[in-house]
Amino acid sequence: MGGTYKCARCKQKVELDDHVRCPFCGHRILFKERGAAIKVLKAE
Ligand SMILES: [Zn+2]
């Protein structure tokens, strides 16, 4: 994994490595920012 995502809640840019979680607010739904496709990642 990896890349730049945007938090669905606080809209901060998030660099992911091995887990899906916003470091700013702790939210777990992130949108992939690059390209046209928007991918929602949801961690259990
Ligand atoms: Zn956030």
Domain positions in the chain are 3-42
Sequence-separated (6 or more) residues with CB below 8 Å from residue 7: 14, 22, 24, 25, 27, 29, 30, 31
**Which CATH number applies to 3-42?**
2.20.28
Q: What is the pLDDT of residue 3?
A: 77
Distance 19 CA to ligand 1 centre (A): 14
Provide CB contacts within 8 A for 36, sequence distance 6+.
none
Ligand 1 centre from 38 Cα, in Å?
Answer: 17
List Cα–Cα distances, 19 to 8, 36, 38, 40, in angstroms: 16, 23, 18, 14
The structure tokens 């470091």 sit at 23
Q: Give residue 6 CA to ligand 1 midpoint distance, Å.
A: 8
Distance from Cα 36 to the centre of ligand 1, integer Å:
21
pLDDT in tens, 1-44: 567 888 999 999 988 777 788 999 999 888 887 654 556 666 65
